[in-house]
Amino acid sequence: MSTRIVITGGAGFLGSLLARRILAEPVALGGSEPAPVGELLLLDLAEPHPDLAADPRVRPVVGPLEEALGGLGDVDAIFHLAGVVSGAAEADFDLGMRTNLDGTRALLQYARGLRTPPVLVFSSSLAVFGNDPALPPLGVVDDNTLPRPQSSYGIQKFIGEQLVADYTRKGFVRGRSVRLMTVSVRPGKPNAAASSFLSGIIREPLSGQRAVCPVAPETPIALSSPRCTVDGLLRAAAVGDAEWGSTTAMNLPALTTNPREMAEALDRVTGSTTSSLIDWTGDPGITAIVGSWPAEFDTPRARRLGLEAEKTFDDIIRAYLTDNPGEQ
């Protein structure tokens, strides 16, 4: 028996990677046996990548989320990746609230009306954690650390987590909120995320272009590769309700590093002084956002599901070079 799956943000970077994985192999949902996808609905403001649009199992749904939901019908699973990224949500409060909060609630209301509660994976963020200036520094974040977001984006994601938890408690959805780490290295052009430079300082020098690092070289950062991030999303969808456990969001594993170590890894992998193309020019606004995020995580819950962080940033760069030969 085949399945129907929705990915919001399906034309974006992570949405496209997730879509390709789903189309490539049978997918387990909520503890069931893996089954092939019969129809994959990609919701976004933009058209999906040509290779995805060419697959007969893919149905692009282009337009605002609230409008797109009306004609979807019943689905077995939803991956909710759509949203306004951190820097844009901070710069435009109303856009962030409308997209990240109102859009999430509209999606949950759609799911509530389905005949069978779908598995719903909500992509939250490490930005739900922050260093409250009135309290001691966070230190190591574990599965029981209380979120204290210090940005509009973080607050919007935390509210989304709580909505998913309550809709799950009421039996409307089978929710799994997953807190993503900063994803690096992303191919393509920079986006409006405050953390976008953490891909740019690798991606641009590899292409012979200059890049700017807007934070201090020793700023601690929690990272995950695109591959491991998609692994986490799929694993969250695959497990049964009992194995998933608490409706509280799960932190994905992270590699702790800093921009200086990333630059050094870049030189080791390329065997040259590629990092000389990085300009270390501070930006107080970016520093304030990124500097409020925790960088050290202990994630036993994720480990119990078989999820592990990468061992070194060198490995992440090598994977990027393998997966994106045209970006070099």
Active site residues: 153
| Dist. CA 75–CA 103, nearest whole Å | 18
Instruction: Give the burial class of 243: count Cβ atoms within 10 A of its Cβ; 0-12 exposed, 13-18 middle, 19 or more buried.
Output: exposed
Can you tell me the distance from the alpha carbon of 250 to that of 162, in angstroms, rounded to the nearest whole number?
Answer: 12
- 285 contacts: CB under 8 Å, gap ≥ 6: none
Q: Any idea which residue has 């929710």 for tokens?
A: 175
Cα gap 144→141, rounded to integer Å: 8
Given the structure tokens 């994985």, which residue do they identify? 21
CA torsion sign, 5 to 68 to 8 to 22?
A: positive
Strand 211-213 and strand 58-62: the pairing is: unpaired
